[in-house]
Chain A
Amino acid sequence: MSRDDKSNVQRIAEILKGFDGNNTPRRTHEILDDLGVTRSTGFGLIRALVAADWLERFDHGQLRLGPKARGLIFAGLEAPEAADDKTLSVTARPGSGAAGAARPDLEWDPALVRTVDASRFRKSAPYRIGFSNASTSNPWRRAMLQSLYYAEKIAQAQISDLLVLDAEDDPARQLQQIDALVAQGIDLLIISITSVNDTALSDRLGALARQGLPIIAVDRRPNDRSSLVSFVTASDHRIGRICALWMAEHLAGQGRVWMLSGLEGASPALRRQQAALATFSDFPGIQVENVSYTDWTEQGGYQAIEKVLAEAGRPPDGVWCDSGLQGIGSVRRFLDSGLGIPAHTGGDLNEMYKLCLHHKVPMAALDYPASMGARALQLALDVLGGNTVPQRVEEPVQIVLPRGCETASVKADSWAELHVEWDLPDDAILSQGPALRSTKPTPERSVSA
Chain B
Amino acid sequence: MKDNAYTRAVDSFEALIAAPQQALHATPAGLFNAAGIPASSGYRHVAALEAEGLLRRDAGGGYLPGLTALRTGFHGFGLGRLAPMAQPILVQLRQSTQHTAFVAVVEDMDLTMGPHSIGRESQKTQISHNYSFDAIPDFTLGAVSEVALRSVSEGIARRTAALVVPVMSTERFIVLVGLLLNPRRSVPQNLEGALAHAAEQIVASGADD
Task: Kindly state the separation between the CA atoms of A434 and B201 in the bound complex, as whole angstroms.
Answer: 32
Bitwise interface map of B from 67 to 89 toward A, beta carbon under 8 Å scored 1, else 0? 11111111111111101110111
Which of A21, A77, A81, A89 lies in contact with B116, CB distance below 8 A? Answer: A77
B153 at the interface (CB under 8 A from A): no
Task: Kindly state the separation between the CA atoms of A430 and B198 in the bound complex, as whole angstroms.
Answer: 30
Task: Kindly state the separation between the CA atoms of A78 and B74 in the bound complex, as whole angstroms.
Answer: 19
A12 at the interface (CB under 8 A from B): yes
B17 at the interface (CB under 8 A from A): yes
> Which chain B residues lie closer than 8 Å to A19 at the CB level?
72, 75-76
Bitwise interface map of A from 261 to 280 toward B, beta carbon under 8 Å scored 1, else 0? 00000000000000000000
How many residues on the B side are at the interface (Cβ–Cβ under 8 A)?
92
* Distance (whole angstroms) from the CB of B198 to the closest CB of chain A: 7
Given A22-B78, A44-B6, answer yes or no on A9-B73 (Cβ-Cβ < 8 Å): no
* Distance (whole angstroms) from the CB of A10 to the closest CB of chain B: 4
B24 at the interface (CB under 8 A from A): yes
* Contact A72–B13 (Cβ < 8 Å): no
B57 at the interface (CB under 8 A from A): yes
* Contact B105–A115 (Cβ < 8 Å): no
* Contact A154–B205 (Cβ < 8 Å): no
> Which chain A residues lie closer than 8 Å to B114 at the CB level?
73-75
Of chain A, the residue at the smallest CB distance from B46 is: A9
A250 at the interface (CB under 8 A from B): no
A157 at the interface (CB under 8 A from B): yes
* Distance (whole angstroms) from the CB of A422 to the closest CB of chain B: 15
Task: Enumerate A61-110 residues with CB–CB distance to B below 8 Å.
Answer: 65-82, 85, 87-90, 101, 104-108, 110
Task: Enumerate B134-188 residues with CB–CB distance to A below 8 Å.
Answer: 182, 188
> Which chain A residues lie closer than 8 Å to B103 at the CB level?
73
A49 at the interface (CB under 8 A from B): yes
How many inter-chain contacts with C-beta < 8 Å in the A-B complex? 259
Interface size classification for chain A: 35 or more
* Contact B116–A76 (Cβ < 8 Å): yes
> Which chain A residues lie closer than 8 Å to B50 at the CB level?
154
* Contact A49–B10 (Cβ < 8 Å): yes
* Contact A40–B2 (Cβ < 8 Å): yes
> Which chain B residues lie closer than 8 Å to A70 at the CB level?
73, 76-77, 105, 112
Bitwise interface map of A from 1 to 25 toward B, beta carbon under 8 Å scored 1, else 0? 0000011111111101101111100
Bitwise interface map of B from 97 to 114 toward A, beta carbon under 8 Å scored 1, else 0? 110000101000000111
* Contact A436–B120 (Cβ < 8 Å): no
A217 at the interface (CB under 8 A from B): no
* Contact B71–A76 (Cβ < 8 Å): no
A155 at the interface (CB under 8 A from B): yes
* Contact B117–A80 (Cβ < 8 Å): no
* Contact A114–B205 (Cβ < 8 Å): yes
* Contact A47–B84 (Cβ < 8 Å): no
Q: Which of B49, B84, B87, B116 has the most CB of A within 10 A?
A: B84
* Contact B70–A388 (Cβ < 8 Å): no
> Which chain B residues lie closer than 8 Å to A8 at the CB level?
5-6, 9
Residues on A lying within 8 angstroms of B by beta carbon are 6-14, 16-17, 19-23, 40-41, 44-45, 47-49, 51-52, 54, 65-82, 85, 87-90, 101, 104-108, 110, 112-115, 154-158, 371, 378, 381, 387-390, 393-394, 396, 411, 413, 430-434, 436-437
A-B contact pairs, 8 of them (CB 8 A): A12-B9, A23-B78, A47-B3, A74-B129, A378-B53, A388-B83, A394-B88, A431-B59
Residues on B lying within 8 angstroms of A by beta carbon are 2-3, 5-7, 9-14, 16-17, 20-24, 41, 44-45, 47-54, 57-65, 67-81, 83-85, 87-92, 95-98, 103, 105, 112-118, 120-121, 123, 127, 129, 182, 188, 190, 193-194, 197-198, 201-202, 204-205, 207
